[in-house]
Amino acid sequence: KRTRIQLHFNRVVAVLKSSKVTTIAELRAMMIRYCRDEHLAQNALIGIEIALHKNNLLGSFFERILPDMMARGSRILEFFEGGEVVPLQPDDDGRVILSRPKCACLISLMFLCALPNNQMSFSSLLYSQQSYQVAKLQFFLNYFDRMSNYLPDDPPGFVTVTKNVLPYERYDWGGSKEPLMPFRVQSRSEICDNLEAMQVDFAHAEIGGGLLFRGCGEEEMRFCMAPELSLACLVCSRMMPNEAVIVTGAERFSKATGKGYMMQFGGNYVDPTPKAEDTSILSCMVCIDPSRFDKFQEKLMRLQMSRQVMQRECDKVVSGFWQTADTNRYISVATGRWGSGVMHGDPEVKVLVQWMAASECARELDYHLAYEVKERKFIQRLREFVSKMLEMEVTVGQLWDACQDLADYDVKSGSLFESITSLVQGWREQEREMEAEREEQGLGELGVHTPTGSFRGGRSPAASG
């Protein structure tokens, strides 16, 4: 029995195989035959015409690129039984492995507005004249230009989309004995340039965010530079607070310039990332979505450091950084101001969250932040804080306890690093005084008993969830 999806793709494949398109108007007419979308019906495809001119592809698009896209898209029923791409289920670990020709097939159908129910449709981009929307088309056209130079069953390798789910029970951060791992401030490079590390995607709960609409944040830019990342949008539902999505094997095809609404296509990029034995690209993107605050909550440290918020953020990040078969090879995590900016999270709190989670997973942290005038003081303070924490051999549990002790006080935004340093130094001094007192009493090597995860006495760690 043929499903509605199969009937849809039967029609799409028939149209793609029978059509010869030589103009933008003919492209729109072809898509209208299988796609019921008011944008296509009411608007000329001005956006793609501008993008083709900017990329100098207007001639080769109709001669080589578009025919290749249509040929790849028409293989949907060959690649997927009934045309169905089985999605990952909510709150359930799982993975989807796609050969890169299958990836090209799906991305072609996305661009041609040929997926069922207008899923992941490019229609709103194809007619837009906004510069950042046109830039998105330029990124994807560069990808298709590169793909058209491969044979139909190439390129080799696989893209894997994995969902990591942390059990709903709260993780026992205060009971952790793990030492804080090395932390490097990278002020001269960007996250996407750190080829040997897991790279953090400043994600939305809905993977991809506004990629095909008006979004122009960090996540949208990353997905434009490496279009195979967009397949996560197809197979993943909205992330739960205890979930993360990992995408491995996606190749970067383009450079980008500018930020936000000033984002622009920066030209072709040849990805130097090493390859695995099966020729898959050894890239790894960790999609984790931070809590969103409004601008009035940005300076409310008591809220941002509350146990509930910190628990959610740390659980979210550790679900992405956890050691798995796909990510064991990565020693470090490349990140930056995750959860700050438009999410209005305090940057110092988010540093601590990511450092604790990376250390709990035995990974080092590379923190990328442009060395601009406005950031110099923050970079200096961060480096001093990291140096003192490592010098005092602070554990994950102890850093968590310090955060919880300070959460009830009115710590000013912009002074958290110094407050934690002062608190931990006080604990150390108290520990030395108690040891000296015990030695005077002849207790010698007994020393001071410090409960797991805390410099202080009187509290044992809670049972791990």
Cα 248 from chain centroid?
11
Nearest Cα neighbor of 416 from 368, 346, 369, 364 is 346
Catalytic residue among 219, 313, 315, 348: 219
Decide if 201 is catalytic.
yes
Residues 284/330, Cβ–Cβ less than 8 Å: yes
Cα dihedral 345→347→349→353 (10° resolution): 90
d(CA 458, CA 451): 8
Residues 215/68, Cβ–Cβ less than 8 Å: no
Q: Which residue shows structure tokens 């991809």?
A: 208
From edge to edge, which strands make up the β-sheet containing 364-368?
94-99, 158-165, 243-248, 284-288, 198-202, 332-335, 364-368, 183-186
Residues 312/233, Cβ–Cβ less than 8 Å: no
d(CA 464, CA 396): 14
Query: How many helices and strands (H and E) does the chain possess?
Result: 18, 10
Catalytic residue among 68, 145, 218, 220: 220
Nearest Cα neighbor of 75 from 116, 97, 108, 98 is 108
Indicate the residue type of 97: I
Catalytic site positions: 201, 219-220
